[in-house]
């Protein structure tokens, strides 16, 4: 491993630490065979969604807007849709 740069060595070390934590926490490794391909896809999607949330938090923190409103109209539309129901008291 000495021919690898310090960044690659650091990441490899973090992967090994993460694997050990996962084994201790969940009692299984990625060699498990009890999950389907769709289960693995769902796990990966959930992990990536979390990563996007962390990145957005950092972006807003760096921009000084950590508590500001959503900057995406799609996010606002989704929030608006989920906060009202067809049988709400708005007369619809």
* pLDDT tens digits, one per residue of 43-70: 999 999 999 999 999 999 999 965 556 6
**Do both 42 and 24 map to the same domain?**
no
Q: What is the pTM of this model?
A: 0.61
**Do both 24 and 50 map to the same domain?**
no
Q: What stretch of H or E contains 6?
A: helix 6-26
pLDDT band at 1 (very low <50, low <70, confident <90, very high): confident
**Do both 2 and 21 map to the same domain?**
yes
Averaged pLDDT, 70-86: 62
Structural domain contains residue 83: no
Q: Count of domains in the chain?
A: 2
Structural domain contains residue 81: no
Structural domain contains residue 3: yes
Q: What does pLDDT average to over the chain?
A: 85
**Do both 1 and 15 map to the same domain?**
yes
% pLDDT > 90, the chain = 66
Q: Are 70 and 79 in contact (CB under 8 A)?
A: yes
Domain that holds residue 22: 1-31
What DSSP assignment string belongs to 21-84?
A: HHHHHHS--TT--SS-HHHHHHHHHHHHHHHHHHHHHHHHHHHT-TTSPPS-HHHHHHHHHHT-
């Amino acid at each position: 491993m000495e021919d690898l740069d310090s960044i690659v060595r650091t990441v490899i070390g973090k992967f090994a630490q993460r694997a050990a934590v996962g084994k201790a926490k969940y009692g299984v490794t990625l060699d498990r065979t009890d999950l389907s391909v769709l289960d693995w896809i769902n796990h990966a999607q959930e992990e990536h969604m979390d990563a996007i949330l962390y990145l957005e938090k950092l972006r807003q923190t760096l921009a000084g807007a950590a508590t500001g409103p959503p900057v995406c109209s799609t996010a606002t539309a989704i929030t608006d849709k989920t906060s009202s129901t067809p049988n709400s008291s708005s007369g619809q």
